Amino acid sequence: MTAKLYCFGESGNAYKAALTLELAGVDWEPVFVDFFNGEARAEPFKQINAMGEVPVLVDGDLTLTQSGVIQQYVVDTTGKFGGAPEDKYDVMRWVLWDNHKMSSQAGPLRFLMNFLPEDKRPQEVIKFMQGRLNAAYAVLDGHLRGRDWIVGDGMTAADLSCCSYLFYDEPFGFDRADWPNIDAWLTRISEVPGWKHPYDLMQRGLPA
């Protein structure tokens, strides 16, 4: 049975799940959630996920939310992207770090800078979040110096989590040219057979 991923193109968190499903070869299809018109925070969707968020994966009787959980499910069911057994905690470490320090800032910041009307963009908040994100980019770029992948010698859920927002073109203060190790790593990921840009995996909520 085809697994259904509730998602929309602009969500980097949904992209983490979608790209992991896609590259692992899982039989899945996207179900569009009209986030920008409030669908994720309205009652019918909250019956699926009370957190009011995408992504949600429905696979038969199983409903899973949080991108890191969906990634772990893909690891458990396909054997892919979990890394070596001894690297389990290290993969989890970077997925948690991404959720805590990177995506939790990059998602809202990109929203504020691109999807809010220009006269409603809170400049002090934007500057604060960019500062926090620059510290996160420095950690990631430093870690990738001399490494092809975040953990071990192949792509894992850690890469597929940390890369997600960095593939979007809308400006949010991230410039690949500033971070050469991140830049090379993003190129490496995009050259993996089957890789797709978020807007080629999931329907967008807003016009291009």
Q: Are residues 186 and 30 in contact, defined by beta-carbon separation less than 8 angstroms? A: no
Interface with a second copy (CB under 8 A), residue from 42, 84, 116, 125: 125
Look up tokens 């006269």; give the residue: 119
- Per CB under 8 A, 122 contacts a second copy: yes
Q: How far is the CB of 132 from a second copy (least distance, A)?
A: 7
Instruction: Give the whole-angstrom CA distance, residue 161 versus residue 156.
Output: 9
- Per CB under 8 A, 124 contacts a second copy: yes
Instruction: Give the whole-angstrom CA distance, residue 193 versus residue 91.
Output: 22
- Span from 116-124, 149-157, 164-172, 178-186 in contact with a second copy (CB under 8 A): 116-124
Q: How far is the CB of 102 from a second copy (least distance, A)?
A: 10
Give the contacts of 156 (CB within 8 A, at least 6 positions apart). 81, 82, 83, 87, 91, 149, 150
> Under the rule (CB under 8 A), what is the footprint of a second copy?
50-52, 64-69, 72-73, 89, 92-93, 95-97, 99-101, 103-105, 108, 122-125, 128, 132, 139, 142-143
